C-alpha cells in the first residue's frame, strides 16, 4: 500500500488526495482536470455506457400529451441532449 502525503498548500489545496471519477469527462468541462489543477491525483473509470433507445414510441406519445405535463425532470446531461435531439427531428 502506498502512503499518501496530506501536505496541502495554498497553490495546490488538494495535494496528496486521491479521487475516483466515475464518469467520462468532456473536454469543455473536465472534473478530472479541475481536480488535478488543484494538486489531486485522479483515477478515472467510466462506469456507464450511453446507448440509443430501441424505440422512441413512449416518448413520442408523451410529447403528444405535452399540454397535460407541468414538469419535466432530467437526471443527466445526456438525457437532455437526447430528448432535445428527438424533439428537433
Query: What pLDDT digit, counting tens, does each position of 5-64 carry?
Result: 555 577 899 999 999 988 776 655 588 889 999 999 998 888 888 888 999 999 999 999
> Is residue 35 within 8 Å of 14, Cβ to Cβ?
yes
Q: What is the DSSP string of 6-54?
A: ----SS-TTTT-EEEE-SPPBTTB-HHHHHHHTT-EEEE---------S
Domain limits for position 26: 1-49
Query: How many domains, the chain?
Result: 2
Q: Which residue has the cell 489545496?
A: 13
If asked whether residues 39 and 64 sit together in one domain, one would say no
pLDDT of residue 80: 93
pTM beyond cutoff 0.75: no
26 and 45 fall within a common domain: yes
C-alpha grid cell for residue 50?
A: 450511453
If asked whether residues 14 and 34 sit together in one domain, one would say yes
pLDDT band at 3 (very low <50, low <70, confident <90, very high): very low
Same domain, 45 and 61: no
Q: In terms of DSSP bridges, do strands 41-44 and 18-21 run parallel, antiparallel, or are they unpaired?
A: parallel
pLDDT for the residue 77? 84
Domain shared by 78 and 36, yes or no: no
Amino acid at each position: 500500500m502506498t502512503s499518501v502525503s496530506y501536505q496541502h498548500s495554498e497553490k495546490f489545496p488538494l495535494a496528496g488526495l486521491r479521487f475516483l471519477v466515475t464518469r467520462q469527462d468532456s473536454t469543455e468541462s473536465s472534473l478530472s482536470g479541475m481536480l488535478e489543477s488543484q494538486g489531486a491525483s485522479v483515477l478515472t473509470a467510466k462506469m456507464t455506457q450511453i446507448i440509443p433507445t430501441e424505440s422512441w414510441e413512449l416518448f413520442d406519445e408523451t410529447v403528444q400529451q405535452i399540454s397535460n405535463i407541468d414538469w419535466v425532470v432530467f437526471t443527466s446531461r445526456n438525457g437532455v441532449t437526447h430528448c432535445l435531439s428527438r424533439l428537433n427531428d
